[in-house]
Amino acid sequence: MPAKASRAAFGEALLDLGARDERIVTLDADLSKSTMTGNFAKKYPARAFNLGIAESNMIGVGAGLALTGRIPFACSFACFIAGRFETIRISVAYTNANLKIVGTHSGIAIGEDGYSQMGLEDVACIRSLPNIGIIQPADEIETKQAIAYAVEHQGPLYLRLTRQSLEPVCPPDYRFQYGRWLVLRKGHDVTLIGSGGPLFNCLEAAKRLEPDGISAEVINAACIKPLDEELLVQSAGKTGHVVTVEDHTVSGGLGGAVAERLGDLLPTPIKRLGVHGFGESGDQKGLYAKHGLDPAGIAASVKKFLHR
Amino acid sequence: MAEVRLESIARECRVQILRMLAHAGSGHPGGSLSVIDILTTLFFGRLRYDAKRPDWPDRDRVVLSKGHAVPALYAVLAKAGYFPEKSLITLRKLGSPLQGHPDRTMLPGIEAATGSLGQGLSISLGLSLGLKLAGSSARVYCVLGDGETQEGQVWEAAMAAPKLGQPDHALDNLVVILDYNKIQLDNFVKKVLDIEPVTAKWQSFGWPVLEIDGHDIAQITKALDQAEATTGGPTFIVAHTVKGKGVSFMENDPEWHGKAPKPAEAIKAIREVLGITEGAWEEYLKTDSSTRAIVDELAALEKK
């Protein structure tokens, strides 16, 4: 399977699911070319609505549609979604509206457009809300399954997708399960928990650590909320060291969620890797290297963390 | 005849609003009293609903976007049979589904969680569009506060509504009613941030606009008829109202936006709402046992 952006896999999944389920509608805020709902709109023009550059209204309209039994996907960049927190808080989460919110262009990996277009705080914001789940798929196969699951899931969801292409990481027979994580690579010295964009780099980092005698377990945390507490505790109990890796601010995202739960369930030394401060313009490779999210950076952080 | 009946229901609802706010010890009487004639006309002269089946897909919907006026909505919902009137005095109390601002998940009959101002119109657009897509003939009534229209999201929705769903699913099942009582929390609307020219603003966004006296049941009914006869898009009704309508010491006073009456004040207000003079009050109560019970209950509360 070639590398594919999760936003592209999302667009393809919607086309397929839309043919089978009349209830699916899409909502966009003038970014349908970027969120990849454009083909759905072409095929099902009566079920695709462009609300213009007005994300708050788009999310509210989506909540209303959901309350009448439609299954709307409200799409924009992750940063513009998070910016409409108050509407998500009341019209979606508190209302428990069956709306699927899709935030593409997550993280510094979008590169050249710079910070204002980077979704870096979306998980931290949305994670604080009851009722709403957060899914961040890591490759094409997982994205398509997550979108299919989202249609079946009763209740609001936030789906965090990438602009950049993602190398396949999940096995061909992979089956997405809500609230469940997957061990992609077994190990016993350290648990690397990744999600979405940087997950492939976690696997690469694990390979680099091998010659140094460090056996890294790599977990795909596609579901950021709810966490897979069982697997988290099991793996942390085994390795005694947890490293989280995410293309998101280092505060309040996947790393924050893992630290909170481990603190409750099994206090374990933890190192959180992510973005510090604001993002900036640049090429994706260079930005990942600068923020230590490339294979070399992740491997170096792990070694330092383990005092090796 | 129909108007006399609705006026009588609205009076009873005003009594309940004052009663529940006094028991709660906090809340928003001014905007509840300004909107109650509109809600009464909707619930008892217009809407298709079944209180026993609050999730009936083809029911008409009311979204009270100015969620702080929810005591008015609770009063009509109780009268419509969604829950017993005796529950009204649990307003704002721990464990009550009668939250300080509407919670759709806790109370059947509430269509949307509102109170964070500016969001109800967007939800109403989604409801209207969803009903159209489902082929339902149900209608959606969204009630906006005047101060609320200072929120930016209202204008995102205002710009979208006349165009949304065109041409096959135009939102002619949507009516928006502005409860234009001219007062917001801090002060008079025109002193805080004037929203005029209201009619011209909404017209320029593509809405047909009707202007009425929001306390005149006949005018409200006629405007709703006109809206129902309008095809091809939604209708906007500017309902000129009086904040605190029916209670002399609350009318047009920003102080009564968000302050509950003390029990003794509530009793006086109830007497005024019912149009009874102070001298005739004791005699009147002998003839009206339900009001007598409410007044006794409030008098007991005063002593606590």
How, if at all, do strands A190-194 and A216-220 pair? parallel
Residue A172: inside a domain:
no
* B181-200 confidence digits (pLDDT tens): 999 999 999 999 999 999 99
**Domain limits for position A144:** 4-166
CATH label of the domain that carries residue A205: 3.40.50.920
Could you tell me if A279 and A133 lie in one domain? no
Residue A177: inside a domain:
no
How, if at all, do strands A165-166 and A4-5 pair? antiparallel
The total number of structural domains that make up chain A: 2
Residue with the two structure tokens 């170096």: A300
**What is the ipTM for the molecules in this complex?**
0.96
* B125-176 confidence digits (pLDDT tens): 999 999 999 999 999 999 999 999 999 999 999 999 999 999 999 999 999 9
Confidence bin at B266 (pLDDT 50/70/90)? very high
Name the domain boundary from A136, A166, A196: A166
Which residues in chain A have their CB less than 8 angstroms from residue B127's CB? 64-65, 67-68
C-alpha B5/C-alpha B18 separation (Å) is 20
Query: What is residue A103's three-state secondary structure?
Result: strand
- Cα–chain center distance at A13: 16
- Reference B123, options A259, A72, A178; nearest CA is A72
Which residues in chain A have their CB less than 8 angstroms from residue B101's CB? none
Nearest-by-CA chain B residue for A48: B165
CB B26: neighbour CB atoms within 10 A?
A: 11
CATH label of the domain that carries residue B20: 3.40.50.970
Could you tell me if A187 and A159 lie in one domain? no
CATH label of the domain that carries residue A105: 3.40.50.970
Is A21 an interface residue toward B (CB < 8 Å)? Answer: no
Residue A229 is among the residues annotated as catalytic for this protein: no
Task: Record the tokens describing residue B106, joined without a space.
Answer: 């806790």
**Domain limits for position B144:** 2-303
Is the distance from CB of B106 to CB of B99 less than 8 angstroms?
yes
Residue from the list A49, A60, A70 with its beta carbon closest to the beta carbon of B123: A60
Backbone angles phi, psi at A174, to 5 degrees: -60, 140
Nearest-by-CA chain B residue for A93: B113
Element (H, E) at A248: strand A242-249
Inspect the interface and report whether the beta carbons of B105 and A95 lie closer than 8 Å.
yes
Which residues in chain A have their CB less than 8 angstroms from residue B111's CB? 67
Could you tell me if A154 and A243 lie in one domain? no
Inspect the interface and report whether the beta carbons of A70 and B130 lie closer than 8 Å.
yes
Could you tell me if A187 and A99 lie in one domain? no
Q: What is the 3-state secondary structure (H, E, C) of chain B?
A: CHHHHHHHHHHHHHHHHHHHHHHHCCCCHHHHHHHHHHHHHHHHHCCCCCCCCCCCCCCCEEEECCHHHHHHHHHHHHHHCCCCHHHHHHCCCCCCCCCCCCCCCCCCCCCCCCCCCCCHHHHHHHHHHHHHHCCCCCCEEEEEECHHHHCHHHHHHHHHCCCCCCCCCCCCCEEEEEEECCECCCCEHHHHHCCCCHHHHHHHCCCCEEEEECCCHHHHHHHHHHHHHCCCCCEEEEEECCCCCCCCCCCCCHHHCCCCCCHHHHHHHHHHHCCCCCCCHHHHHHHCHHHHHHHHHHHHHHHC
Name the domain boundary from A135, A166, A197: A166
Could you tell me if A143 and A26 lie in one domain? yes
Residue with the two structure tokens 């936006």: B257
Nearest-by-CA chain B residue for A86: B116
The alpha carbon of residue B176 is apart from the nearest alpha carbon of chain A, in Å, by 15
- Strand partners of residue A24: A71
Name the domain boundary from A106, A138, A166: A166
- Helix orientation angle between A6-20 and A140-152, rounded to the nearest 10 degrees: 40
Q: C-alpha distances in angstroms, A52 versus A28, A30, A32, A190, B84?
A: 7, 5, 10, 47, 44
Task: Record the tokens describing residue A291, joined without a space.
Answer: 């923020």
Question: Nearest 5°: CA angle at A102, between A100 and A107?
Answer: 150
Which residues in chain B have their CB less than 8 angstroms from residue A25's CB? 133
- Reference A178, options A206, A205, A208, A145; nearest CA is A145
Residue A238: inside a domain:
yes
Residues of B engaging A, defined by a Cβ cutoff of 8 Å: 57, 103-105, 111-116, 118-119, 121-131, 133-134, 136, 152-153, 156-157, 159-160, 164-165, 168-169
Residue from the list B104, B130, B152 with its beta carbon closest to the beta carbon of A68: B130
Give the active site residue among A55, A140, A142, A217: A55
Question: pLDDT tens digits, chain A, 308 residues: what are they?
Answer: 899 999 999 999 999 999 999 999 999 999 999 999 999 999 999 999 999 999 999 999 999 999 999 999 999 999 999 999 999 999 999 999 999 999 999 999 999 999 999 999 999 999 999 999 999 999 999 999 999 999 999 999 999 999 999 999 999 999 999 999 999 999 999 999 999 999 999 999 999 999 999 999 999 999 999 999 999 999 999 999 999 999 999 999 999 999 999 999 999 999 999 999 999 999 999 999 999 999 999 999 999 999 98
Residue from the list A64, A86, A90 with its beta carbon closest to the beta carbon of B124: A64
C-alpha B243/C-alpha B32 separation (Å) is 8
- Reference A278, options A107, A86, A126, A103; nearest CA is A107
Which residues in chain A have their CB less than 8 angstroms from residue B157's CB? 57, 60-61
C-alpha A180/C-alpha A220 separation (Å) is 9
Inspect the interface and report whether the beta carbons of A69 and B113 lie closer than 8 Å.
no
Interface probe for B, chosen from A25, A59, A68 (most Cβ of B below 10 Å), is A68
Inspect the interface and report whether the beta carbons of A60 and B168 lie closer than 8 Å.
no
